[in-house]
Each structure stands twice: as C-alpha cells, then as structure tokens.
Amino acid sequence: MTQRSIHPSRNLQTVARSLGLGLAIASIMVLTNCGNDQQASRPVGTVEPGNEPDESLVVGSPGSGGAAPITPKNGGREALTPDQVKGILEAECTGWSREGEPIPATLQLVVDTSGSMTDSPPGDDQRSKWEITREALKNAVDALPASTNLGVLFYPNKNVTSNGHTPGDVSACIKIDERIPIQPLGKEGSPQRQAFEEGLNSASIESYTATHDAYKYALEELLEPYESPNRFILLITDGAPTINLGCTWPGEEELKGGLWDGAGSYDGDTDPIIASIREAAQKGIRTFLIGAPGSEKSVESETDKRPWLSEAAIAGETASPGCTIEGPNYCHFDMTRETDFSFALNSALQSIRGQIIDRCTFALPEPPPGNVISTDLTQIIVEWGDGSSSLIQQDAEGDCVDGWQVATGADDEEATITLCQKTCDDVKADGRARIFFSFGCSPAEIDEIWK
C-alpha cells in the first residue's frame, strides 16, 4: 500500500470527511515537526536526496520539534464526543492516517481423509463424515479474513503402499504433491481460495491413517519455513493412526517388514505424535485438535482414542478450560457425543477461527521515507459498534488490564501494539468495533483536546 504524507493545515479536514469515522477517525497519524531544523530533530535516519517527503512531515520522539511534554499514563479509557474526535484529527500534531491492521494468522490444516471417513456419523444416515467435514471446512474458510495465510494437507489422499518395517519417504503414505502451499487467502474468488475448494472436491477418501507423517510433514516442510508470528495447526481426525512415522506398519514384531494380511489392522503409536505437537508449541506454533465420530472406539483395537487427542491438545496449548484427559470434559474438540455432527463441527471451527484471528495485536505501519514512529507519542481510539468512541490510554507501567502496551522486537519494523485484556475482551465482544491509532500527539496534547 502506498502511503502519502498529509500536511495538517491543508488536508486533514478533507481526510476526515473522506474517511468518515463518525466523523472520521482515519487511523494512523504521525507527528508533524513544527521546528525549523527538521533533519536535526529526527531521532534516527536521514532523507536521501530525491526521496524527501513532499510536505514538511517528520516523525519524532518525545520533545522533538517542540512537542508537548509527555504525561505518563497507566492505562484506562475516556469517552470521546464527536467534537473531541474531530479535534484529535485536526490537531496540529497529527499528520497522515490509516486504519490499524491486525497481524494476520497463518493456519495449516492437516485433514484425515482415510477410508473410515466414508462412514456416516450417528444421527446422519445420508452423508458421510467426510461430506460433512468438507462442507464445514468450506464454510469456515469462506469466513476467514483475506489477510489469513492458509495451507492444507489432506492425508493420506492416496492408496497407501507403506515402507514396511524400514522407515522411508513420506510419499509412500501421503500424496504430498497434492498439498496446498501456504499463501494469503485473498478476497472471494482468489487463486488460493479456488485451490482450497478444488482440493476439497478432489481429495481421495481411502486407505490408512498416517497421522504422524502428515503432522510432521505439514509442520516442518510447510509451516515452519513460512515466516509469520501468528502460526497454528488444525488437525482433524477420527481417531487412531494406523501407520507409524516413516510410513511403517505397526503390529506384531514378527509381522513387520512388509505387507501382510493384517496390514493396517493395528493402532499406531500416539506418544510420538504428542511429542511432535509439544515441540511445535515450544516454537510458538499451537495445535488445535478435532476428534470426529469414531475416535471414541478404535476399529482395530476397540480402545478409546479420545484421551490421546486430549493429551495432544494440552501439548498443543489449546486445551479447553477445566478439561481432563480421560473426559468427560475432554481437552480437544470432541465430536463423538454430538447428535448433530454438522452443527457441532461448524461450531468448533467457528470457535477456532475466533481464537486464531487476533483482533488485539497490531503491527506498526511503515512511516514515510526517512522518518520513524515514536510509540511514546501514540494514542488509540476505538469506534464501537453503537457509534460511540473511546480514547484508550497506554499502560506503560501497570499490569495491562484496560489500555494498551507496545512490544519492541529486534528493530522498529517488529514492534507491535497489543490491547490489554479488558480492552481486548470488549473489542472481541463487539463484532463491529474498529481500532484506530493516532501517532504524533503526546498525552498532554491529547488531554488539552478532550478535557
């Protein structure tokens, strides 16, 4: 997105009218230097010849350009009238503007398409588990924001041949060339959305369940190389893996080494899968688990497979509050006791969507060339769904209950702004709330406007 500097004395009223926030909060505004020596006032960087801002716009740190003294804040919020909003927009310390953009989520789907997914769930004798899952996934992805990064691996998506007893290439039990690499979803009709829908419609529903190979491949080959601060995996399966890591058959020792009449008739190991999920969480990648009908009783061993899915959710740091591994309140999304699998699955996916879409963490915008943003001169305004507005104040020294805080990474480009817990909860509860940032005016200057 190309950003344009705006001289407040000529253009802010036009911007306010065109952007409309009740009157017009347009969002991210940067400090205009009122002093004479603009180059000397910049805390870092210089403007290269021929790359000067087309107006006298300079972003600075506290005190630069004659800015008012900083009055430290300890969080809180103040109601703003339309006139106060207008006053902030048209203050001399404001410059250009843009609405805040939450950090996009990156979601890797790992979806079981083994033969057992052709069975019908209890209460639905018309559709298979896969047909219901396919429809629910389409609805869930349709509802994701365009900024979401999505990748998909269906497994096995082929007739499994296995590597016998000796671990081998993942391609023996998963059709990895049909994976959908992670890309931004984009708007309706985008290439990534089309690829996802085509993958759903063409997935092969057959053969055995190579859950560990699928998870490990999706994590290490697809998700980890995709640099993003907000990454998740969603694993959907109907129970027991029947193939161990390396596309090897589980079973009696004397039967290992190749195909035999009992191939695929033994439950695979789940502890190594849980360990992989725990390792992913240690890298900041959380894993959600949905246990489809069938996970309550393995076809092979007739044992309950919900405890391993619960334990995996704990390892993946997505366990539901107050849950227990053995149930009845399982830690994963358990579909086995639902009378309407379709409704329950859609509800679970909606819950997951609400958890991965972070409406409370924002990346700082890129300032005009040759300038930097000072978060000490930052104010946040929330326009609520009922049309009212609030000034949200920085919590620079408290426990961040109501307000916002800034986290600075290795360089200025990695800095993020996060709403405190109460503010975040209120924003999430109000589906129409919008977040706007004002970079440029000190708290003391803002106080003079709204008081």
Do 327 and 235 lie in one domain? The reply is yes
Residue 3 lies in a domain: no
Residue 376 near residue 70, CB atoms below 8 Å: yes
Do 371 and 341 lie in one domain? The reply is no
Q: What is the pLDDT of residue 209?
A: 94
Do 219 and 303 lie in one domain? The reply is yes
Please report which confidence band the pLDDT of residue 326 belongs to, taking 50, 70 and 90 as the band edges: very high
Contacts of residue 442, Cβ cutoff 8 Å, sequence gap at least 6 = 62, 67, 68, 69, 70, 71, 93, 376, 377
User: 80 — phi, psi (to 5°)?
Assistant: -115, 135
Nearest CA among 338, 445, 328 for reference residue 84: 445
Do 169 and 193 lie in one domain? The reply is yes
Inter-axis angle of helices 191-202 and 129-142, to 10 degrees?
A: 170
What's the token pair of residue 419?
Answer: 């709403």
Do 73 and 150 lie in one domain? The reply is no
Task: Output the CA angle 354-359-365, nearest 5 degrees.
Answer: 145
- Give 417's strand partners: 362, 406
Q: What is the pLDDT of residue 319?
A: 97
Task: Output the CA angle 335-337-339, nearest 5 degrees.
Answer: 90
Do 213 and 332 lie in one domain? The reply is yes
**Which pLDDT tens digit goes with each residue over 64-78?**
333 344 455 688 898
Contacts of residue 347, Cβ cutoff 8 Å, sequence gap at least 6 = none
Do 343 and 438 lie in one domain? The reply is no
Share of the chain above pLDDT 90, in %: 52
- Give 29's strand partners: 438
Nearest CA among 416, 407, 317 for reference residue 101: 416
Residue 413 lies in a domain: yes
3-state secondary structure of 438: strand
Strands of 172-311, DSSP E: 180-184, 231-237, 286-291
Q: What is the pLDDT of residue 262?
A: 54
Do 88 and 181 lie in one domain? The reply is no
At which of 298, 324, 356 does a domain end? 356
Q: What is the CATH number of the domain that holds 124?
A: 3.40.50.410
What's the token pair of residue 193?
Answer: 């959305």
Q: What is the total count of domains within the chain? A: 2
Helix H or strand E segment including 214: helix 211-217
Do 253 and 294 lie in one domain? The reply is yes
Nearest CA among 235, 238, 168, 243 for reference residue 208: 243
Residue 384 near residue 436, CB atoms below 8 Å: no
At which of 310, 334, 356 does a domain end? 356
For residue 365, CA distances in Å to 47, 60, 97, 249, 354 come to 18, 15, 10, 52, 24
Contacts of residue 368, Cβ cutoff 8 Å, sequence gap at least 6 = 3, 5, 30, 53, 57, 59, 96
Residue 77 near residue 390, CB atoms below 8 Å: yes
Do 322 and 403 lie in one domain? The reply is no
Q: Which residues of 422-439 are buried (b: 16+ CB within 10 A; e: fewer)?
A: ebbebbeeeeebbbbbbb
Residue 335 lies in a domain: yes
Q: Which of 180-194, 222-236, 245-259 shows the lowest mean pLDDT across its residues?
A: 245-259
- The number of CA neighbours under 13 Å toward the Cβ of 128 is 13
Q: Which domain holds residue 24?
A: 8-101+359-450
Helix H or strand E segment including 344: helix 341-356
Do 255 and 222 lie in one domain? The reply is yes
Residue 1 lies in a domain: no
**Which pLDDT tens digit goes with each residue over 360-390?**
888 877 776 666 777 778 888 999 999 999 9
In which residue are the tokens 């899968």 written?
273
Q: How far apart are CA 290 and CA 256, in angstroms?
A: 31
At which of 329, 356, 383 does a domain end? 356
3-state secondary structure of 414: helix
Contacts of residue 249, Cβ cutoff 8 Å, sequence gap at least 6 = 162, 164, 165, 243, 255, 256, 259, 263, 264, 266
Nearest CA among 160, 152, 159, 201 for reference residue 178: 152
pTM over 0.75: no
In which residue are the tokens 């004659």 written?
66
Do 158 and 180 lie in one domain? The reply is yes
Name the strands in the sheet holding 378-383, side by side, starting at the edge strand that comes first in the sequence: 77-80, 389-392, 378-383, 434-439
Residue 411 lies in a domain: yes
Contacts of residue 236, Cβ cutoff 8 Å, sequence gap at least 6 = 109, 110, 111, 112, 133, 289, 290, 292
Residue 229 near residue 254, CB atoms below 8 Å: no
Contacts of residue 263, Cβ cutoff 8 Å, sequence gap at least 6 = 162, 208, 249, 251
According to DSSP, the β-strands at 389-392 and 77-80 are: antiparallel
**Which pLDDT tens digit goes with each residue over 79-126?**
999 888 888 878 877 755 567 777 889 999 999 999 999 999 987 768
What is the overall mean pLDDT for the chain? 80
Residue 399 lies in a domain: yes
Residue 289 lies in a domain: yes
Residue 220 lies in a domain: yes
Contacts of residue 10, Cβ cutoff 8 Å, sequence gap at least 6 = none
Q: Which of 32-41, 157-166, 225-234, 297-306 shows the lowest mean pLDDT across its residues?
A: 32-41
What's the token pair of residue 78?
Answer: 């103040």
Q: Which has more pLDDT, 65 or 280? A: 280
Q: What is the pLDDT of residue 227?
A: 87
pLDDT exceeds 50 at position 252: yes
